[in-house]
Chain A
Amino acid sequence: MVDTANAESHLKDDPSRRDFIHIAAVTGAVGGVAALAWPLVDQMNPSGDTLALATVEYDFSKVALGQQVSINWRGKPVFIRHRTPAEIAKAVADDHAAMPDPQTDEARVKPGKADWLVLVGVCTHLGCVPGFGGGEYGGWLCPCHGSVYDTSGRIRHGPAPKNLAVPDYAFTGPTKVKIG
């Protein structure tokens, strides 16, 4: 006990040195643990092979007018819909109707390609996949909680807050679209 007390009293004589070296040691150790934490967190982010598949190309030459295909993009369905003039007209006519997430039909397609509507087929409410042809707007109806989307994929009524998302995509050829 005697020398313990001595040691402690001696340390108290020299607070600056004591403080500096111990704070440096603790800071260094904490810093190291923090730096190590990043790899342990980052490993849960998408891996290289997942990222490599973040882009898909699709040849839509076989999608007839009035049909749609669902393709798998990043594990989610993407609807590629070949819209009829009637569907387009219906969507444009409603451009200025009251809706939860107002957007014109033009803003949701590529210029001059209004017949091709590309949507992420995930309901913006809680992630279910809406089906085409249901609901009173001739567009999509989500089976889970009844969100109704029109022929432009815009939310018209129901619990969903947002329109069906339009992914990043580009036409890479006359019959080819690249998504992502």
Chain B
Amino acid sequence: MGRNTLIAALSAALALAGLSLPASARTTQAELKPVPGGFTFEQPVFGRFDQGSLQRGYKVYAEVCSSCHAMDLMYYRNLCQQNGPFFDPKHPNSNEAPICKAIASSIKVPDVDQDTGDATQRPATAADKFRNPFPNKIAAAASNGGAAPPDLSVMARAREGGPQYIYSLLTGYVSPPAGLTVPAGKYYTPYFPGDLGSAWTGAKDKVPQGGFISMPFQLSPDRVTFDDGTKSTTDQEAKDVATFLAWTAEPKQTERKEAGLAVMIYLLLLAGVLYVSYRTIWRNVSH
């Protein structure tokens, strides 16, 4: 009885600890919970990216987001690496993949002239980082009403809800409820964290969820033309770019899940063999 009680108590304790974890990770801000975008790649074991969606997502980033948002941790070669948007088994070396070389060379990045030391522009190479739209953070803030657009490299890991949050935010702009004063240069969305108490003139216990964001609504049907013929709706654009950002946040996640499956099978087999070995050795010990 003694040991059973202990086991029961500790299991209960661990279960409680488990329950408390998501709670501890959650913030108390009163933004709306993101809507699930049907992102099957989020499934912990078998979730995989759809390459077509990643390619479309890159296009949305390149044609819409990249005019304001940097991705300082991403290089053009990353697009062609294993499990990336433009990975082609014929070109396993992402540095030499023609698609990435072509993507890079169509973009001009700043450089320093080797002879004069002057600032100059040159076509990017696959080894270059994604072009930063602004020379520095101050310029980024100055060009955007004082709010520097955040770097998107790990955005999907840096917000509760990840890709669901990005998808919800991009599609969730609504007209502000009556009684909410939206400051100049700001936009209301219920998915953006914030505290609207001071901008709310209605009932004190009915402060709307969400916050003010400096980014205007960006996506619209056919804002981006998809090369694979997928119909370019706002919803599709948002889903694809959220998928792309989920990939950039951790480009090695497919490798991780694949390795994990092999490791799990190995560990379970080894545990089984060890258990039999243990029972064999202890067979005649009364304990």
Q: Do chains A and B directly touch (beta carbons under 8 Å) in the complex? A: yes
B residues neighboring A (CB under 8 Å): 75, 77, 81, 94-95, 115, 125-127, 266-267, 269-270, 273-274, 276-277, 280-286
Q: Does A167 contact B (CB under 8 A)?
A: no
Within A35-54, the residues touching B (CB, 8 Å) are 35, 48-49, 51-54
Contact A7–B95 (Cβ < 8 Å): no
Please pick, from A28, A55, A62, the residue contacting B269 in the complex, using a CB distance under 8 A: A28
The 8 closest A-B pairs by CB, nearest first: A7-B284, A52-B127, A25-B277, A28-B270, A10-B284, A52-B95, A21-B277, A25-B273
Give the distance in Å from the alpha carbon of A22 to the alpha carbon of B279 in the complex. 11
Contact B280–A55 (Cβ < 8 Å): no
Q: Does A11 contact B (CB under 8 A)?
A: yes
CB nearest to A4 among chain B residues: B285
Contact B75–A49 (Cβ < 8 Å): yes
Q: Does A32 contact B (CB under 8 A)?
A: yes
Give the distance in Å from the alpha carbon of A74 to the alpha carbon of B276 in the complex. 53
Give the distance in Å from the alpha carbon of A57 to the alpha carbon of B126 in the complex. 12
What string of 1s and 0s marks CB contacts (under 8 Å) between A1-26 and chain B?
00110110011000001100110110
Give the distance in Å from the alpha carbon of A57 to the alpha carbon of B123 in the complex. 12
CB nearest to A28 among chain B residues: B270
Q: Does A29 contact B (CB under 8 A)?
A: yes
Give the distance in Å from the alpha carbon of A55 to the alpha carbon of B127 in the complex. 9
A51-B95, A52-B127, A55-B95 known; A28-B273 Cβ under 8 A: yes
CB nearest to B267 among chain A residues: A32
Contact B273–A24 (Cβ < 8 Å): yes
Closest CB of chain A to B42's CB: distance in Å?
25
Give the distance in Å from the alpha carbon of A29 to the alpha carbon of B125 in the complex. 45
Please pick, from A3, A11, A21, A57, the residue contacting B273 in the complex, using a CB distance under 8 A: A21
Closest CB of chain A to B80's CB: distance in Å?
11
